[in-house]
Amino acid sequence: MVELSPSFEMECEVLDRDHKQLLRRINDIIAVIDGEHSDECAKLTPDLVNFAKQHFAREEALLTKVGYPDVKKHVEHHRALDRKMESILNLASVADDNPLAGKKLKSELVFFLMDDIINADLDFKSFVEDKQQESGNSSGP
Ligand SMILES: [Fe+2]
Ligand SMILES: [Fe+2]
């Protein structure tokens, strides 16, 4: 089971909630592969991919709202992950009959979450944190 260390938290509720949900879904997929129910990959993985796309859209809207200067670059990064998700879906569709594909799927999913999703987001962590604090102060007494 994969866990998220506190250094990977964004200190932004809506993004942390999504990242934890992604982690939960990936752990579920790893569990069905390890528990010899890899047939369920064919359903759980498309659900994960749909959720990841929703997360990217939510995150892009938030970055635009707070005026993050590199929002375009991060949107392009997300679009590059769309292609990676295609290969993840392909692996998931054959994982039931192919233990090697199941094994590869597990490592791809962990890399996808930790490196592509969470590590890349750390680029804007402090910017979003500062903006949250500013808006917290301005709405204060
Ligand atoms: Fe994210
Ligand atoms: Fe992101």
Closest ligand to residue 120's CA: 2
Ligand 2 mean position to 135 CA, how many Å? 22
Biggest distance spanned by C-alpha atoms of the chain: 62
Per the prediction, the chain carries an average pLDDT of 92
Amino acid identity at 101? A
Looking at CATH, the fold of the domain delimited by 12-123 is given as: Four Helix Bundle (Hemerythrin (Met), subunit A) (1.20.120)
User: Tokens representing 132?
Assistant: 């949250």
Which distant-in-sequence residues (6+ apart) come within 8 Å of 64 by Cβ? 71
Which of 107, 113, 101, 84 minimizes the C-alpha distance to 25? 113
pLDDT digits (tens, 9 = 90+) for 64-103: 999 999 999 999 999 999 889 999 999 999 999 999 999 9
Query: Is 70 exceeded by the pLDDT of residue 138?
Result: no
Which distant-in-sequence residues (6+ apart) come within 8 Å of 5 by Cβ? none
Ligand 1 mean position to 11 CA, how many Å? 12
Closest ligand to residue 51's CA: 1
**Domain ranges, ordered by start, for the chain:** 12-123
pLDDT digits (tens, 9 = 90+) for 30-47: 999 999 888 999 999 999
- DSSP secondary structure letter of residue 123: G
Label residue 4 by pLDDT band (50, 70, 90). Answer: confident
The pTM score is 0.92
